[in-house]
Structure 1
Amino acid sequence: MPTAAIILIAASSGKTGTLLRLAKHVADKGILVTFTTTSDIGNKIISSSDVVPDDNGVQFGSGRLRFEFLDTNWDPSNVDESMHRLETVGATSFVNLIRNQSHAGRPVTYVVNNPFLPWTVDVATDLGIPCAVLWVQSCAVFSIYYHYHHGLGEFPSETNHNISVCLPGIPIMTPEEIPSFLLPSGPYKPIAKAILEQFYTIDKVSKVLVNSFTELEPGVIAAIAKYVHLIPVGPLVESDDESRSNLR
């Protein structure tokens, strides 16, 4: 059994597959990885494969990948309710999951989450566990949100809808070219709130892992490095071998 134990936690956000691919890459290096998400998404992952993982997980390369899911007793299609319940109920469930790992002889040594679950950083920090966030989009998008949250650039506002955005390492953007969540009239306010809340805890994470690579975005990676310890780990895409795997 691999000696290290890492938990990767994903929201039911449509980005779970990217974090799962990272989990498999990490396990392949000889590490025990526990992947957790909401039970509705977790059941879909398991039902789409012909693997029946036990408590010790399934073999991936030199390591193992195991699954534990956070119980959800709400409507996952209701975005507002899901985000609220994940924050209010999920935190306690996540604490219990981490403690159960320790009692089972596999104490958690690292936590990686995606931006839709910013409260997991607080949970890990309170338990003395180092953590990172996997940003599933490009470095440019991360930089845009980072600058917006910290007030490091001018963005469209209620009083000025048409302002262009100029950030280091990124070509000048019109309002139509920035993430719609940041527009005054942007949709899906709960998701935008969850993404931006991640930046309240970004100083607590040891690393920001980004689904990109240096050769693709050299300018923006160099520019944002003055603020964040950012590590490109991409592209986290499905390989031909993975597409034929019995666990996607």
Structure 2
Amino acid sequence: MENKPHCLVLSFPAQGHINPMLQFSKVLQQEGIKVTFVTTLFFGNILQKLPPSITLETISDGFDNGGVREAKSFKPYLEHFWQVGPKNLENLIEKLNRTNYPIDCVIYDAFYPWVLDVAKKQGIFGVSFLTQNMSVNSIYYHVLVGKLGVPLDVQEISLPMLPQLQYKDMPSFLLNYEKDPSFLDLAVGQFSNIDQADWILCNSFYELDGEVIPSY
């Protein structure tokens, strides 16, 4: 048996999250690491074919026939997924651990903070992957620590290491938070336990975020 590390890469079921994690998976594979790419059952059925060197596995989010559309709206989708996801992921890791290539680490989309608890329970490394650029994540982080209040009620926003921002520059779900808090709560929730992760990875260009990245 060839002895190579095995990473399970778990992506949030949205194309903007799938793409950066899949590209990173290809880099890992080129470095001689075995990669198992994981998404939801519904999204896995519509995902374009992966490179043959990367294995695809799926877990159920409870809405296997339509994802968010089957759930009718985002909030009940997230609530149910967060209930069934940990056990379904744990079952998958246990299944893969019975093969010749047990899992060494889980690289998970930071939108899934609960994955870290599963990784710790299984005794493997948990690596948080921030799929959005650091400037955007910086905005979410300042909401978390209370430096930026929502819903926004000012026209100009000044945050550390970022240029002066206007009301219109901000993510839309900061503006209508009271109407639907689900999206912002998800984005801010990335940081709920990120300090406990074994590593933190960022999808970014240093040349664009060079002032923001060192501040974290």
In the alignment, which residue of structure 2 is the partner of 1:230? none
- What is the CA distance between 1:43 and its match in structure 2? 1.3
Please tell me whether the aligned partners of residues 156 and 183 of structure 1 are also in contact (alpha carbons under 8 angstroms). no
Whole-angstrom CA distance in 2 between matches of 1:146 and 1:185 = 16
- In structure 2, runs of 5+ residues without a counterpart are none
Matched, 1:39 2:2: no
The amino acid across from 1:44 in the alignment is I
Q: TM-score, normalised by structure 2?
A: 0.86
Q: 1:157 to 1:43 in 2, by over 3 A?
A: closer
Superposition pairs for residues 69-108 of structure 1, below 5 Å?
Answer: 69-74=58-63, 75-76=66-67, 77=69, 78=71, 79-108=74-103
Whole-angstrom CA distance in 2 between matches of 1:137 and 1:179 = 12
- What is the CA distance between 1:34 and its match in structure 2? 0.8
What per-residue deviation string (whole Å, max 9, x for no partner) do you get for residues 125-179 of structure 1? 222222222212111111111122122x2x2445x61153222211121222222
Please tell me whether the aligned partners of residues 26 and 33 of structure 1 are also in contact (alpha carbons under 8 angstroms). yes
What per-residue deviation string (whole Å, max 9, x for no partner) do you get for residues 204-227 of structure 1? 112321211222221111222xxx
- In structure 1, runs of 5+ residues without a counterpart are 60-64, 225-248
SS in structure 2 at match of 1:105:
coil
SS in structure 2 at match of 1:6:
strand
In the alignment, which residue of structure 2 is the partner of 1:11? 12
- What is the CA distance between 1:186 and its match in structure 2? 6.5
The partner residue of 1:166 within 126, 149, 158 is 158
SS in structure 2 at match of 1:112:
strand
Whole-angstrom CA distance in 2 between matches of 1:199 and 1:148 = 11
Q: 1:17 to 1:148 in 2, by over 3 A?
A: same
The partner residue of 2:111 within 113, 116, 128 is 116
- Computed over aligned residues only, the root mean square deviation of the Cα atoms, in angstroms, reads 2.2
What per-residue deviation string (whole Å, max 9, x for no partner) do you get for residues 78-123 of structure 1? 3233212221111101001111111113221111111322211221
Please tell me whether the aligned partners of residues 122 and 201 of structure 1 are also in contact (alpha carbons under 8 angstroms). no
Please tell me whether the aligned partners of residues 164 and 173 of structure 1 are also in contact (alpha carbons under 8 angstroms). yes
What per-residue deviation string (whole Å, max 9, x for no partner) do you get for residues 49-92 of structure 1? 3x7x8xxxx33xxxxx2111013442412323321222111110
Whole-angstrom CA distance in 2 between matches of 1:187 and 1:113 = 29
The partner residue of 1:194 within 182, 186, 190 is 186
What per-residue deviation string (whole Å, max 9, x for no partner) do you get for residues 20-72 of structure 1? 11111111110111110001111112xx33x7x8xxxx33xxxxx21110134
